[in-house]
Amino acid sequence: MRVLHALLLVLALTLPQAARADEDESLRSRVRDANAQFNMGNYKEALAQFQAIYRASGKHALLYNIAQCYRQLGDLKMAAVNYRSFIRLDPDNAGVPVAKELLAKVEEQIAREGKVKSAPPTGVQAESQVVPWGQKKPAPAATAAAAPAEQRSFTVPAVTGAAALVCVAAGAVFGLQARSAADDWRNAAAEPAWSDARSRAQSAMTRANVAWTAAAVLAAATAATLLIRF
């Protein structure tokens, strides 16, 4: 019986410890996953995971991670709230000095943005000013001189037109090569001269067709450019 009681006592002491160890390992695994999301730039997903882990575990150190997510998402007010909560609830944490520095920077940026939003509008026109009774409204300032008309440039149509002429010339050259190869093809008596001539004729004709097609496209582009600009 004493042995049985001893075994029961050992089980009573070890089972909660084992359960806590499993729980801690599960918590660490979830934190690793959330950190991975943060490191990959998935700040919304990381924020949701850190918040869920904090609600389940109550570990105040996670408030620092939550504040970091809010800061990366541009929500400076919520970042400041969570930095303050982390500093207040976990004052002995080694990360408190860093959190204080980040909190100061966030608060400074919030104040700077607040000043920009509260600044009065600039560039008030004279027409909106109040004129005392009996005085004439001052004449508006002379408008700026009209900007000179944009000079029409011939660069683009000149380039496309020149390219079209080059393609026409290339097509003519390839066409002559195809004609010469076709003559060799007709005059060839047997293989392999016959096959070689046919191959050269077909290749030259293909190149000629490509050059003429490109010339047509460039000519159309030149005409369209001239119509648009002039």
Whether 10 shows a pLDDT value over 50: the answer reads no
Between 42 and 219, where is the model more confident? 42
Average pLDDT, the chain: 74
Q: Would residue 15 count as lying in a domain?
A: no
Which domain CATH number covers 30? 1.25.40.10
pLDDT digits (tens, 9 = 90+) for 80-90: 999 999 999 99
Q: List b or e across 23-53, with b for residues whose CB sees 16 or more CB atoms inside 10 angstroms.
A: eeeeeeebbeebeebbeeeebebbbebbbeb
Quickly state the pLDDT bin for 189 (edges 50, 70, 90): low
Q: Would residue 223 count as lying in a domain?
A: yes
| Arithmetic mean of pLDDT, 133-141 | 48
Whether 17 shows a pLDDT value over 60: the answer reads no
Q: What is the dihedral of CA 75, 80, 82, 83, to 10 degrees?
A: 130
pLDDT digits (tens, 9 = 90+) for 25-61: 888 889 999 999 999 999 999 999 999 999 999 999 9
pLDDT for res 25: 83
Q: pTM (2 decimals)?
A: 0.45
Kindly give, in sequence order, each residue whose CB lies less than 8 Å from that of residue 207, ignoring residues fewer than 6 positions away.
170, 174, 177
Q: Find how far residue 64's CA is from the centre of its chain.
A: 28
Q: Is 79 helix (H, G, I), strand (E, B) or coil?
A: helix
The residue among 62, 63, 68, 60 whose CA lies nearest residue 44 is: 68
On whether both 160 and 94 belong to a single domain, the answer is no
Q: Would residue 141 count as lying in a domain?
A: no
pLDDT for res 164: 67
